[in-house]
Amino acid sequence: MHCPNCQGTQIIKNGTIHSGKPKWKCKACGRQFVADPTQHRISDATKHLIDQLLLERLSLAGIVRVTGVSPRWLQYYVNAKYRAIPRSVIVTEQKKGS
């Protein structure tokens, strides 16, 4: 077994997850992981597609149907996107009557 982060082989058992699967920990980098996960990371291509669909103002339910991500993950993703947008407004005063 190899660490998915550093490819190290110094792996120790470190408890179980909620479903009873064993959890492993790499002694080299400290990363914890499950050997055969049922859930997978969302790819960068899927995230890019979600960004495009958000710009097209598609509903979140529609994006879930198209991409296959969970509604909960999508809501967290959208919330993180909105938090990253700067919230500053620049107001310029216009002269009245030239």
pLDDT at residue 4, rounded to an integer: 86
* Helical H segments across 4-96, by residue range: 44-55, 60-67, 71-84
28-83 pLDDT tens trace: 999 999 887 777 788 999 999 999 999 999 999 999 999 999 999 999 999 999 99
49 vs 12: CA distance, rounded Å: 38
- Reading the block at residue 67, the tokens are 């991409």
pLDDT at residue 27, rounded to an integer: 93
pLDDT at residue 77, rounded to an integer: 96
In terms of Cβ atoms closer than 10 Å to its own Cβ (0-12, 13-18, 19+), residue 87 is exposed
pLDDT at residue 98, rounded to an integer: 58
- Reading the block at residue 44, the tokens are 């960068």
